[in-house]
Structure 1
Amino acid sequence: MSHYFIAIQLPEELQAFFSVWQHKLKEQLPYKQWPNKEELHITLKFIGEAADNKVVQLKQELQAVQELQTFNLSVGGIGTFGNPSKPRVLWAGVERTERLFELQQTVENCARKIGFEKENRAYRPHITLAKKWAGKRSLSEETLPGLHKQFTDKQTMHVADVILFRIHPSKSPKYEVVERYMLK
């Protein structure tokens, strides 16, 4: 069975913008995985493994997002998840707006209707720039504040659609568009 997730794909100009950040950050931080710029996204819901019949049902349910309005988001700045000295994820920030949370909740409710588990953790929107710390040494307390000062630019993006993606771990790019849902 394939694995799936639902996300907002970044427009090409933001893919290029964050790709420049990744290039600069690679020189300073030892992460194993740096997603291709085409793979940069804001996850709304990770589905995981799903049988074909469940995917068909999910595609039907997700049509509900088409009733929501398009909106703008501010993205930028950096942060980490995990142990501060060996953070597992390096991310770019995403503005936490009411419209984004409404969209995420709609997606969550669609998935729950057909039996996908609700995420236990609070929703923390972000754009993964790198993951899997590979450094022999820890991230020093001086490094991250320096990076916060260096990577402060914010960009605005227009959110006009939501995508159901299939994951292909051994291919590049890893993510295949299964279905695209346009907002109003």
Structure 2
Amino acid sequence: MRSVAGNPTVRLFVGSLLASADRQPFVEYQAALRHAGWQGAFVRPETLHLTYAFLGDTPVSAISEVIQRIEAVLPRQSLPVLWDVTGTFGPRARPRVLWAGSRRPALGLIEWARRIGDVLGPWIATSPGAWTPHVTLLRIKHVPDSSMRPVWHPFTTRVTAIQLIESRLTPDGPVYRVLTDFSLND
């Protein structure tokens, strides 16, 4: 546990960990990237997730209020996500992250992400902007000379749970601990 100005903190985000059945297309795409010569830190299957808000180092004393605020705007029904695009973050010549996402996310998903940003504003560590649902697949160290990405095959899943997650950084990658799991109705 870290401490800021003498107050213990934990690194938090609000997201949806992908169900094991929903991970397979992402894992297969990671394998295709490896085969095509992409190198870097591939996100472990059990940590693949969709992030709504990154809170960063948050005082432990604020966790119960964060949970209450999430509950106040929580969608009651599961939400569909069409995973129909891949992209990168960072400069075109040296991208840093490769992701899979949704060009046209369901309005309910966009609305919920906006609402969570509104109620958790005091704790959000990232600058506000247009939210694009995505799952990080690879933190890039090397792009093959051809720089061609394997073909992405669109598919749809449903967000059936939203979690408040603690993220501890380790040399082997982040370790996640779900602090609260909010299940959504189908």
Please indicate the TM-score interval, normalised by the length of the shorter structure: 0.7 to 0.9
**CA separation in 2, counterparts of 1:139 and 1:123?**
29
CA 1:176–1:57: 2 relative to 1, 3 Å:
same
CA RMSD of aligned residues (A): 2.1
Partner of 1:97: 106
Aligned to 2:160: 160
Can you give the 5+ residue segments of structure 2 that lack an aligned partner in the other structure? 1-8
Give 1:61-72 correspondences, 5 Å limit: 61-72=69-80
**3-state SS, counterpart of residue 169 of structure 2:** coil
Q: What is the match of residue 31 of structure 2?
A: 23
Q: What residue in structure 2 maps to residue 84 of structure 1?
A: 92
Aligned match of 2:67 = 59
Change over 3 Å in CA distance of 1:92–1:33 after alignment to 2: same
| 1:109 to 2:101 alignment | no
Instruction: Report the counterpart of residue 182 of structure 2 in structure 1.
Output: 181
Q: Provide the TM-score with structure 1 as the length reference.
A: 0.84
Specify the code of the residue in structure 1 equivalent to 2:115. Answer: T
Correspondence for 1:6: 14
Please state how far the C-alpha of 1:107 moved relative to its aligned partner: 1.3
Return the alpha-carbon distance in structure 2 between the equivalents of residues 178 and 32 of structure 1: 29
Task: Render the CA deviation track for 1:60-111: whole Å, top value 9, x for unaligned.
Answer: 1111243443221111432111111211110012242211111101211221
1:32 is matched with which residue? Answer: 40
Mark the runs of 5 or more structure 1 residues left unpaired by the alignment: none
> Runs of at least 4 residues of structure 1 off by over 3 A?
65-68
Give TM-score scaled by structure 2 length. 0.83
Distance 1:16 1:173, change over 3 A: farther
Separation in 2, partners of 1:42, 1:29? 25
Specify the code of the residue in structure 2 equivalent to 1:134.
Answer: K
Q: Which has the higher strand share?
A: 2
- Contact 1:68–1:103 (8 Å) recurs in 2: no
* CA shift digits 1:15-68 (9 cap, x unpaired): 122112112212334443111101111110000001111112101111124344
Q: Is the 8 A contact 1:66 1:182 kept in 2?
A: no
Q: Across the two proteins, how many residue pairs are aligned to each other? A: 174
Tell me the SS of whatever aligns to 1:96. coil
Structure 1 Cα separation of the partners of residues 37 and 66 of structure 2: 38
Work out whether residues 80 and 106 of structure 2, in 8 Å CA contact, stay in contact via their aligned partners in 1.
no
Identity rate of aligned residues, in percent?
Answer: 23
Paired with 1:30 and 1:65, the residues of 2 have a C-alpha distance of: 39
